Every structure is written in C-alpha cells, then in structure tokens.
Chains A and B, each alone.
Chain A
Amino acid sequence: MLSELAESKATGALKAGRSGTVYLSRGRVCYVECARTPTVEELLTASGRITSHGVKTARQTTAATADGGEMLVRRGVLSRGELQLCVLGATLDASFFLFGANVPKPRFREGDRHWLGIHWFFDVPGLFRECHRRRARLDRAWPSAELDSHPVVPVRRIRSRHVMLTALQWEILLNADADTTPVELARKIGRPAYPTLLAVREMAAAGLLECAESPAREKPPDLPKRVAGSAPRVATGGGGGRPAQSSFPQISGDPTDVNLLIRLRNALEAFQ
C-alpha cells in the first residue's frame, strides 16, 4: 500500500491503527512514527532541550500551519542540522519496527501533515532497503532474537577479565533491571530503539547480558488437560517433581556437550 501511495505521489498520513503512522509528501516519506519507538518529541524532551509542556504548546500553536520544526529552530531549541538528524533518526528507527510488525489494516488520510513540518525525505524503496540492512546487521551481531522481546539483566559474573563498553551500552547495563525489554529500555533512557537493540545483542554476544529468566527453560511444564469427568489430579512425587532451580548449568559429562561448549567458547572469543 505504501509503495502504491509513493507511486501515485500521494500527500497525507497512512495510519496503521495505534501501531504507527507514515507521513508522505508527494510520494516520498517525510516522517514515520511507531508506538514502540521514541518519537522526535520524546527524544527532544529526553535530551532536556525542551519540556514536555513546551512541546505540547508548540504542537498546539503550529498544528494548523504544520511548521513546528521551523519554530523550534527559530526559538533556538535546536539547530536546523539537529532537527533534520533527529527526524531522520526517529524515522529510520520507527520504520524498522513498524514495517516489520503485524499492524492493523492501514488507512490513508489525504492531506494530513505532521506538526513539525517536513525536514527530510526518504524514497520508499530506500527506506525498505535500509530496514533490511538493519535487520541483517542485528543478526550479524548475535543471530538470536531471544533477547529482543524479553526483559534483560546483566550477568552476575563475566567470563572475560576485561570489558569495553560504549556509552550506550553502559546506560543499558545500568538500567537493565530484569523487568524491562530492550525496546522499553530505549524509551526509558531516551534513546532510539534500534541502536539500543543492537547494543543489547552485541552485549549478549559478548556474554554480558542475558534474559531475566530464560522463558524456554524455566517455564513449568504444561499441565495435562483435564478430561471431562475426571477427578482432580493428585500431585505425584511428593512435590519434588521439578528440581530446584540452580544458577549453575547442569553437568552431563557427555563429550558432545563439551565439544559444543568449546566451539561456543571459540565463537565467542572470535566475536570479541
């Protein structure tokens, strides 16, 4: 649908329910919002340049003219370059999460504009290409999506004796509280979601972060379905059915496991 709108040089907003909105101007994308990623407004308030009240007022006064961005630049909240970069970054970030998601059937509203106005253009195929590249980049960092949607927590003790972190990775480690998923973390620390996700995967690869609780392992076994008319099942094994959870891996002594571990260690070392 987006490609069709681009071909027909449409101007307006393509709204996918509450999941997000793509703003188009003459067939080119000028801004994308996604419910899961921080918007330009959120990035600006998180950076401390403007209060959320300030954003609200600016939004109200420029809703009709759709030149809010110009006004913020004139007022000295941020420079033109910063505004363009902020819109650019937020759009790429939102596109990645919006285009990859299952969204409700989008509806196009002709002529709708975003209050910030137009500050950068993306052609639709280019935007898709960039999303694809970002997906591949994530998988190169750590080819498992397990951490993407689960709360993460730093490991208690690391395997190596020396760690190097980027500023973003540092912030993530400080805020990883075993309750927050990577995308929620991004919003919490006021950073775009994709770089946060990438940093989480890189730290997973380096063995610094893990799922707060590995859902596959710690999920209790499904109870057998009751058949109509059967009596409630009596607990068997005196409550000791499941071994107590231990933070240590189980030792099997199986040589194939050892080989696997050695290969895993080598792979991890190669990552560093």
Chain B
Amino acid sequence: MIGIEDCLSEAMAIPGALGAILVDHTSGTALATEGLPDPERSAIGLSETFRATLDGLALSSPDGTIRIDDLIITTDHGYQLIKPMETMWDGPLLICVRLDRDRANLALARRRLDSISHELIAS
C-alpha cells in the first residue's frame, strides 16, 4: 500500500521514465508531478487527450460504451503512457508517464504502471 508520493517515485523508477504526473481527470488538476517542466499545462493536455480518446473510441465502438485500461501513444521522442484509475468518490484519476523511446520497454512499463495503480487505490 503506497501513498501519492511513493506512487510517483515508483512510476519514475520504471526504466526509461522521463516524467510522471498524477492528474484528476474531471477537473484537469495536476495532483502531483515529477520531472515535468509545466505540470498545470501537462495536466490539462493529458486529460483532454484522454477525454478525446474516450469520446472518439465510444463513437467507433459497436455498443457505444467503452472502458480504457491504458493508453499508449508513440511520439517522435518517446512514449506516453496514460492509465486511468477509478476512485470511489470521483471520476478517474490519470497516472501518466513519459518514456524514453530508446531505453523504455513498453510491456514492462505497462505492467509496472498497472501494479502501481493497484497499490495506490486498493479497490
């Protein structure tokens, strides 16, 4: 069982991690961050990315509703991993990690992020 700060430092310990941020998706608030120059802007950008993906995929899926486990975005510089976590009283939190393209192992990073999120939110 870990707290918010441990959650971020564990995310930063993922091989190839360049920055990590915990975002409240509904309000777009940066709750905690490490290794990002402008957390507020990142928080807004990442929550908009997640929302756009949710909406877009809902439109394209046959039954119109979807649940995203995680989101992997490959950019020219590296990877962005976005994982939503359901809390018991509020919309999802997002834990987002930016990864170095040469050093990161995507499969490992996904697994680690999954276990970190389960340690943070016990449900």
Contacts and interface: CB of A to CB of B under 8 A. Distances in A.
Interface of A: 43-44, 46-49, 73, 78-82, 84-86, 88-89, 92, 120, 130, 133-134, 137, 162, 164, 166-168, 190-192, 194-195, 198-199
The 6 closest A-B pairs by CB, nearest first: A81-B120, A79-B122, A47-B88, A195-B26, A43-B89, A80-B3
Contact of A80 (B1, B88, B93): B1
B14 interface: no
A134 B4 contact: no
12 contacts: A47-B88, A81-B119, A81-B120, A82-B120, A82-B122, A86-B89, A88-B4, A89-B89, A166-B26, A194-B27, A195-B26, A195-B90
Contacts of A130: 29
Contacts of B2: 80-81
B91 A166 contact: yes
Contact of B31 (A46, A88, A137, A192): A88
Contacts, number: 84
Given A81-B7, A85-B4, A92 B27 contact: yes
B108 interface: no
B24 to A, nearest CB: 7
B78 interface: no
Nearest to A48: B88
B114 to A, nearest CB: 15
Most buried by A among B55, B89, B120: B89
Contact of A79 (B1, B28, B91): B1
A44 B87 CA distance: 11
A85 B23 CA distance: 11
B84 to A, nearest CB: 11
Contact of A81 (B4, B29, B59): B4
Contacts of B28: 137
Given A168-B26, A195-B90, 18 more contacts: A43-B89, A78-B88, A79-B1, A79-B120, A79-B122, A80-B3, A81-B119, A81-B120, A82-B120, A84-B3, A130-B29, A133-B29, A134-B29, A137-B27, A162-B59, A166-B91, A194-B27, A195-B26
B121 interface: yes
Contacts of A48: 88
Contacts of B3: 80-81, 84
Interface string B53-96: 01100110000000000000000000000000001111101000
Contacts of B90: 89, 191-192, 195
